[in-house]
Chains A and B, each alone.
Chain A
Amino acid sequence: MALLEIKDLHVALNDGTEIVRGIDLIVRPGEVHAIMGPNGSGKSTLAYALMGHPSYEISGGDVLLDGESLLPLGADERAQKGLFLAFQYPYAVPGVTVSSFLRSAMNALRKARAGGTDDPIPIPEFRKDLTAAMEHLKVPRELLGRYLNDGFSGGEKKRIEILQMALLRPQIAVLDETDSGLDIDALKTIAGGISDLVGPEMGAIVITHYQRILNYIHPDFVHVFAAGRFVAEGDAELAKKLESEGYDAYLPEGIPGDG
């Protein structure tokens, strides 16, 4: 039973500028936490910092998964422990096909789970899992043979992110602006895919600017994030209120938000 605990977390850029200024959050399996906030509030910084991006420094606090601090771990080890980040802007890796990448990533996690000995997924099993997940998420087969995110449309990239999540089966998923750049049909499919994965096996943090995606992924908790802190917390109703009233009420003076 996985439990993510974020304790008084502070995150700074390498030049010392503090972007996340003390947040606390507990995510349990089956829970969906929405983190909403205006552009530039530091939401993506939080996502990157949780995953261990080298451009950000943890200037205070801790992040624990099942009681163990993630901070000393590299991104690969965090992934092996069951953390997943769906990137807002996934990177392209020319020359590496989606399918060979997926298999490598699955094998890396299997190896970690097997205590460091190789435990490659049998090809038929891989194919079966892959086909099922792709059908579910309506990922066109031709994407498998293309280079990872290379020349993909925004929607294709997002689908591939969620496909990775479905196959890697994380315990905690952080979804960074997964709704941006999607049309309504794509949004429904992807949000449906995410909702299906949330359960006893997985908790999720959905980072978003708009309430739209929360129509399809029901959040148990909504946290309003502005200027590096949670400034309000509530349930799904709060998200709806934000949608109609904007963020202005939650912004400390002098900090612009574009509502």
Chain B
Amino acid sequence: MKRAAALERYRELPLPTTSEESWRFTDLTGFDPDAYELAETARPAEIAPLIELELAGSARIDEGGVEIVKAPEGVVFAPLDEKDERIGALVAAEDKIAAANAAFWRHGLLVEVPAGVELAQPLHVRIESTVANGSLPTRLLVVAGENSRFTLIEEHVSASEDLDALTNCTVEVHVGAGAKLELVSVQRLSRRGWHFAHQRARLERDSELDWVCAGLGSKKSKTWISNDLAGVGATSRVTGVYFADDSQHLDFDTFQEHAAPHTTSDFLFRGVLRDQATTVWRGMIRVEEEARGTDAYQENRNLLFSRQAHANSIPGLEILTNDVRCSHGATVGQVDREQLFYLMSRGLSESEAERLIVSGFFAEALDRIEREPIREALARALEARIPQ
């Protein structure tokens, strides 16, 4: 969709309300997207890296533009051209948030790894929100050529811990036949801002997507994670971890679309809540009539540390054929007091014991991450959320 059409769509659509099913538990009252200004220049600051890794390529995006810090060889890793025909192929400007992105985005990155190319080291892009009351709409287009293999880390960060800003990122991922893509999305924005992300991947025949998604920051956010298993034999695995405290509100809306035979998907989300935090996890497995031999799984587990925390879990299945194995599980439970007591009776402080329980709770999810530096960095970031 062209910018003009997207802008028109953005203008005609009202802000979603809780009467819409997918917004039922995420109330945008008090949110005025037009109150955040599209800044021209950035106010970059030193931001400590989360993960220390040798990188094949890295880039930064902020209000001022795209900076390719290190260009990888044999791979397109460049500012996204708005004339690229593939833009909008997976995320159309259907809702207000997606329309805003399509209308206003200025800076984006194209990552295109040609057929057969394998990168031993990851690619990294960091999207930095640096201007107070600024709006930063960005876009990523990731194209994994047939039989390519690589890792892409996408990070959303703020220039300061108390920055109030609006970020809206659209990520479209094409995983070509036989390709294997590892995608790591880390959102560690300031806990004062609003964040939205539409992320959708399409998987072709026999491709594999291993997606890790960590939600740590923002005041209120909604992240869509959709997988279209479009080719026979495609496999996707999505591992989500989130930690919400204070009055944070984190919403994850996931969709596993099985459109081809013998496809597999496995979504596992684990979250910890403290204080007055609220989380929403919504998951839908849809198996189309032609998707025989589907194996689909979704799981969401929430651990509550506070009586004021609210966790909403809405798993869902829509199964249109019978040759399937689909299941889901969801739990919401408080931290086990006996477990806590047992650990403390061995001399651990309450926070140490809590940290241990949190790390154990997340371990099953994080163990699915193959690269140790990524796994460890996320584990540290999650544990650090328990106050000393």
Q: Determine direct contact between A and B, CB below 8 Å.
A: no
**Which residues of A pack against B, CB within 8 Å?**
none
Residues of B within 8 A of A (CB): none
